[in-house]
Structure 1
Amino acid sequence: MTAELVRGQNHPLPHSRLEIRVTAGAPVLACATLADDRGTVLGVEWIAHPGSPTLPGIEVSRQAAAGLRFHVDLEAVPERAHLVHVLLALPEGVGGPARFGTTASPFAAVTATDGTEIASFTITGLEAESAVIALELYRRQGAWKVRAVGQGYAGGLAELFGDQGVPQAREFAAGIQEAVARHMASAIQAPLTGTPDGVRVRADGSATATQPGQTAGGAAGAGAPSGAGATPGPGATPHQLPGTPGQQPGGPADGQGQQPAAAAHGTAGGRVNYTHPRRQNTAPPTPPPASPQAQPGQAPRPVAGDATGWSMEERLYNQVWGMFEDLARATAAYRSAVDFAESRMDQELDRVLSDPRSRIGGTGDAAREAARAKRDRLTDQAREALDRDLGQLAAESEVVEPALPPAYARWDNPVWHAYRVPMDNPMALRLGDLHLPERTELHIPMLVRLPLERGLWIDSGRSGSEAALMLDEGQLRRLAMDNAVGHAARLLAAYPPGEFTVHVIDAAGSAAGSLAPLVAAGVLNQPPATGAGGVAAVLAQLTQRVDLVQMAIRGGAADSLPPGLDTAEQLLIVNDFPHGFDDRAVTQLRYLADEGPAVGVHLMMVADREDATAYGPVLDPLWRSLLRITPVADDHLADPWVGHAWTFEPLTMPPGTQILRRVLEQVAEARRAWRR
């Protein structure tokens, strides 16, 4: 039976390997400290935090989220450490709540590795505090216990670390906040799941939890507030943070559909519908079994669309996200097992070799061999389990990839050869592929939910990856713009005629070659804007559109929009920023990035961040608010569950193919017919 703790109460821990699952009403960052028997942290090397997430026996998340997990192996905790403090704090400078008093009470549950809940604690009574010691695991007479603490600090992490004796606590806390901000700018936001409880249901009846803090059997704990995970991997919009405290990722209408959502969509009757396409308030049906049941002891045969959803498109979307999470968690389990094996070997060697007598003769050599053999055995067992899981995912990928619709498919997928202009708005778009080093050939599609709720920053500079360092600046810029044109073409091809409009700012005219397919096909409403005058005109046009639609929404008068206003989704591609931008233009760009997605205006920046440093901190919020992708392979993206560094592979056009030209010609013809 689960022990529901109150502040100050303790409870014995029957297991040494644990998970601590946290859900909160707003994204929080996680830290853990090891302290001696007096509660003193002996140095920053005794602190696990998003910039350095592991300690012996402790692992925390690299990014902020409303649902987090701590991984704990009490046997691996150093003997000098008598206390493990679980810390939570609100991220600073990201537009979220500044104190816990304005959000739902955080909830922490201590569970065994099989999901069995041992103890839980709802941290009530917080007001002005922005950091809190949630739980304390402590060693007493050779056994471990958990104590509910709930001690808050209005001064944030700096005050908390200072209270624990950490040297230069303020500077150290600021470094942690910066590490969290960096991960937030590159994290993959978890999608709205196909079932209300976040469980991935397959046709064979099996289920996998798809939200942090949950198991396949249900929520993290009784009374826990529902938490969102961080738009990739195949992600929906890759910000780990929900836009509103307690809100699911995906926009204001995700929960009950009571607020205007991401964009305006025209209807036959002339009314403007601001709800997200295909957003439902009830759980979609589970698809019937589409393949023979597996024999006992065998994994079920993979089937494309083997997930919940109202349509095949939605089922494939949910299935891809399920594969993404399965791969993330399987790899995390393997890495944790390997770390555990290494740590166990080190402990055994330390115990044997601490006695000088064991170093004489062959005793020491025998101890080393025995410890290494045990390490190798544990590692081999972990690898065997990982290979089994990866094999099943690879088999699933082989049947899912050919079944994907054009918006989800790679350019070399035969589905593009049968392309027809769609009649319905799309659900998601593929930006690229993701893979992990454990099996580089197993690629997971990186899907983002549509309408875009977060803009894109396509990095045209030296990102630090090996692939980028092998190219000169001109090649990188051309690849980045080619990538932007490919994404714009996919969006135009995914929407019905008249439902999507692309604007281009190419102030210096340097991207004419990359933009040629869009210009030649005639799918742009107006030529790419050049010079300072062109930049000002496009920004003024889109800023006015945002203002008008916002006023219509607030006034409840969506039908009174000017008759000439384009109510389609709008995408603005900006090349070679900040060339051609003055201070006013930069302010308008920031405004579009912040306010545009809610009313159907989206931003795609093709730029090198180093070129934009002249604007200093003015553009930092813009950089952090956009999903950064690269034109070459790079490992800068993190998943919302365990924070792996995923290698992003951009979509590339097969050499010599005419697919892009043919698709754009069909889009242009459909647009001309729609205008008639």
Structure 2
Amino acid sequence: MAVEFRAGQNAPLAAPSVRFTATASVPLDLCALVVDTHLQVASSQDVVFYNQPQTAGVRLDGDALVVEPGRVRPDAEKVLCAVGTELVTPVDTTLTDTAGTPLATFRIEPVAGETALLCWEIYRRGGDWKIRALGQGYAGGLAELFTAHGVEVDDPEPAPPPAPQEVPPLETGATCVRMWQIFEDASRSAAAYVQAHEYAHHRLDEELSAAVADLSARTGDAAEQARARAHRRCDELVAAAEVRYSDDSEQLIAELAALEESLPAALASWDAPAWRRPGEAADGVRIGEVTAPDRGPLRVPFCVPVPLGRPLWVDGDAEAAAPVASALALRLLASRPGSLLHVVDPAGAMRQLTDLAGSLLAAPPVHEVSGVGAKLKGLADAADLDSLAASAGVDAHRPEPRVLVVSGLPHGYGSDDLLHLVRLTQLAATQQISMIFTGTEDEDVDSPAYPILAEAAQHVPSDEGRFVDPWTRTDWQFVSDAGPSDPERIRAVVRSLECRRQEI
């Protein structure tokens, strides 16, 4: 059975001949480069592709590329097996022996528009040969791959400058999706940059190791020149990757700036024109931004869809979490014009919100522990009745959208209070209740409802945290939205929400 390889994994090659094949959803061009220790070809004769189907030890054989290491020119160190495609697509590759028995497989998924992929290297190690899975991609296609390894490529006719890209109009109910698409583009671009950076330094290590392998050539001008060439090539690869990533980031920054004018308030920045327009519903709310300061200035809004499928839990003590919870509450109110606000705040941390947004409250806020139980029981009972009426087909008045902020969990809340919150959590999505919790984790709480709440919620840091994107597993820094720092700006937001409510 063939071993499924990961990028960078290597193994001995026992077979005297190996066949390289690849499959994808689109046609592929197989090619090979016979290179030295510096990953450079000696001449154009070291390239095997459809216009030059063979060289010493390497040949194209139908839809396969055959490598016979024992026949490769003696001063060559590696054979690089690659593919080129017209479209960006995942590629499955296989190495087999002369009898067709699979030796190794490797799946490559391009992350940033690469249309040429280095798949495998077959390389000398002492007197033996080994195989290694690579996975390095080139957005410039085979021309860029060939040039990076010393192949002279005829310059194509210069292409006309691209027309300025127009941002397509936002579709109603698709704005949150668009923001996630931009984040996905940013993630794939970042992954390509990280991968290219790692490949450049991997290649540098290989070349420097080769330079010191020969004891007689470790010193002198030739050795210094070899090391200088290795560092120069590494710097060139890193610089090229940085330029590509910078260009991608600038394009995404421009796209975000163009979208800002048309985003609904719940997804826009606090100074955006949306807060001065008549109320418009949104399909999501902005809860923060993702950024990578070491990779540049790009900051991508992080949004979640509404109605909320899970409560949002701002981690941290009540005071530290209050600004983020307040910002979330205002955005959720904006996402559903006419929404009503309920606040349960026995710690008194949400007083700025309740003081400034008093006109948006459905009922007086609860600031005393003694009032918590009655408030939560009343909300849970009302949600139960509305749910029963809906399931029975009663033509009842549909409840208005509600935003519930519960501050300072678990302190000040009894076991029954937590059970009422579990009931509300289970009914929230169908009863248009968006829930925001704040609090710190406490393993000593003697209530089975508490871990249920903690697990059911989507947790948000009260300041900054680490986020790994779901597409490429790239690290990002998440910065929570703490809302406007100026109370007058908050008043302006509240006035905007009041106007929306009066128009309903």
| TM-score, normalising length: structure 1 | 0.50
CA deviation after TM superposition for structure 1 residue 332, in Å: 0.6
Distance, in Å, in 1 between the alignment partners of 2:377 and 2:110 is 44
Distance, in Å, in 1 between the alignment partners of 2:190 and 2:97 is 34
Distance, in Å, in 1 between the alignment partners of 2:430 and 2:218 is 69
Q: Does 1:419 align with 2:282?
A: no
- The amino acid of 2:479's aligned partner reads E
CA shift in 2, pair 1:669/1:34, >3 Å: closer
What is residue 596 of structure 1 aligned with on the other side?
Answer: 428
Q: Does 1:495 align with 2:332?
A: no
SS in 1 for 2:332: helix
Deviation digits for residues 572-601 of structure 1, max 9, x if unmatched?
211111121122222333343345334433
Q: Does 1:433 align with 2:289?
A: yes
CA deviation after TM superposition for structure 1 residue 374, in Å: 1.7
Distance, in Å, in 1 between the alignment partners of 2:455 and 2:163 is 41
SS in 2 for 1:391: helix
Q: Does 1:447 align with 2:284?
A: no
1:349 to 181, 205, 208: 208
Distance, in Å, in 1 between the alignment partners of 2:89 and 2:332 is 44
CA contact (8 A) 2:344 2:366 kept: yes
CA deviation after TM superposition for structure 1 residue 546, in Å: 4.0
1:328 to 182, 187, 193: 187
Distance, in Å, in 2 between the alignment partners of 1:347 and 1:214 is 24
Q: Does 1:301 align with 2:164?
A: yes
CA deviation after TM superposition for structure 1 residue 646, in Å: 2.3
1:577 to 402, 409, 433: 409
- The amino acid of 1:322's aligned partner reads Q
| TM-score, normalising length: structure 2 | 0.65
**1:41-80 matched pairs, under 5 angstroms:** none
Distance, in Å, in 1 between the alignment partners of 2:381 and 2:227 is 72
CA contact (8 A) 1:578 1:612 kept: no
CA contact (8 A) 1:483 1:650 kept: yes
CA deviation after TM superposition for structure 1 residue 560, in Å: 4.9
**1:110-125 matched pairs, under 5 angstroms:** 115-116=88-89, 118-119=91-92
SS in 1 for 2:274: helix
1:642 to 444, 457, 472: 472
Distance, in Å, in 2 between the alignment partners of 1:388 and 1:592 is 47
CA deviation after TM superposition for structure 1 residue 434, in Å: 2.2
2:461 to 622, 630, 648: 630
Q: Does 1:511 align with 2:350?
A: yes
CA shift in 2, pair 1:481/1:656, >3 Å: closer
Distance, in Å, in 1 between the alignment partners of 2:452 and 2:242 is 41
CA contact (8 A) 1:338 1:378 kept: yes
**1:19-168 matched pairs, under 5 angstroms:** 115-116=88-89, 118-119=91-92, 145-146=103-104
Distance, in Å, in 1 between the alignment partners of 2:443 and 2:197 is 42
CA shift in 2, pair 1:139/1:621, >3 Å: farther
CA deviation after TM superposition for structure 1 residue 671, in Å: 4.6
- The amino acid of 1:445's aligned partner reads P
SS in 2 for 1:597: coil
CA contact (8 A) 2:111 2:192 kept: no
CA deviation after TM superposition for structure 1 residue 487, in Å: 2.1
2:378 to 518, 522, 541: 541
Count of aligned pairs between the two proteins: 389
CA deviation after TM superposition for structure 1 residue 527, in Å: 1.3
What is residue 292 of structure 1 aligned with on the other side?
Answer: none
Distance, in Å, in 2 between the alignment partners of 1:34 and 1:619 is 45
- The amino acid of 1:393's aligned partner reads L
CA deviation after TM superposition for structure 1 residue 116, in Å: 4.4
Deviation digits for residues 59-92 of structure 1, max 9, x if unmatched?
xxxxxxxxxxxxxxxxxxxxxxxxxxxxxxxxxx
Distance, in Å, in 1 between the alignment partners of 2:95 and 2:375 is 61
RMSD: 4.1
Distance, in Å, in 2 between the alignment partners of 1:17 and 1:296 is 37
Q: Does 1:484 align with 2:343?
A: no
What is residue 41 of structure 1 aligned with on the other side?
Answer: none
CA deviation after TM superposition for structure 1 residue 660, in Å: 2.8
**1:162-561 matched pairs, under 5 angstroms:** 296-304=159-167, 306=168, 310-311=171-172, 314=174, 316-362=175-221, 364-416=223-275, 418-422=276-280, 425-461=281-317, 477-497=318-338, 500-519=339-358, 522-552=359-389, 555=391, 557-561=392-396
- The amino acid of 2:329's aligned partner reads A
- The amino acid of 1:495's aligned partner reads R
CA shift in 2, pair 1:429/1:355, >3 Å: same
SS in 2 for 1:412: coil
Distance, in Å, in 2 between the alignment partners of 1:459 and 1:548 is 31
Distance, in Å, in 2 between the alignment partners of 1:116 and 1:495 is 40
CA deviation after TM superposition for structure 1 residue 493, in Å: 3.0
Deviation digits for residues 513-565 of structure 1, max 9, x if unmatched?
3421122xx21111112344422122222322443344455x4x34355x6xx
CA shift in 2, pair 1:379/1:580, >3 Å: same
CA deviation after TM superposition for structure 1 residue 379, in Å: 1.0
CA shift in 2, pair 1:560/1:537, >3 Å: farther
2:440 to 581, 584, 608: 608
CA deviation after TM superposition for structure 1 residue 625, in Å: 3.5
Distance, in Å, in 1 between the alignment partners of 2:461 and 2:233 is 42
CA contact (8 A) 1:458 1:605 kept: yes
Distance, in Å, in 2 between the alignment partners of 1:401 and 1:672 is 25
Distance, in Å, in 1 between the alignment partners of 2:389 and 2:380 is 14
CA deviation after TM superposition for structure 1 residue 323, in Å: 1.9
Say which one has the larger Rg.
2
Distance, in Å, in 2 between the alignment partners of 1:389 and 1:619 is 44
Distance, in Å, in 2 between the alignment partners of 1:397 and 1:670 is 26
Consecutive unaligned residues in structure 1, runs of 5 or more: 1-7, 19-32, 38-110, 121-136, 149-211, 217-294, 462-476
- The amino acid of 1:421's aligned partner reads G
CA deviation after TM superposition for structure 1 residue 485, in Å: 1.9
- The amino acid of 1:601's aligned partner reads I
CA contact (8 A) 1:506 1:529 kept: yes
CA deviation after TM superposition for structure 1 residue 479, in Å: 4.9
Consecutive unaligned residues in structure 2, runs of 5 or more: 13-82, 114-157
SS in 2 for 1:628: strand
CA deviation after TM superposition for structure 1 residue 328, in Å: 0.9
CA contact (8 A) 1:506 1:576 kept: yes
CA deviation after TM superposition for structure 1 residue 659, in Å: 3.9
Distance, in Å, in 1 between the alignment partners of 2:112 and 2:245 is 20
CA deviation after TM superposition for structure 1 residue 342, in Å: 0.9
CA shift in 2, pair 1:672/1:414, >3 Å: closer
Distance, in Å, in 1 between the alignment partners of 2:400 and 2:365 is 19
CA shift in 2, pair 1:361/1:147, >3 Å: closer
Identity within the alignment, %: 25
**1:646-661 matched pairs, under 5 angstroms:** 646-654=476-484, 656=486, 658-661=488-491
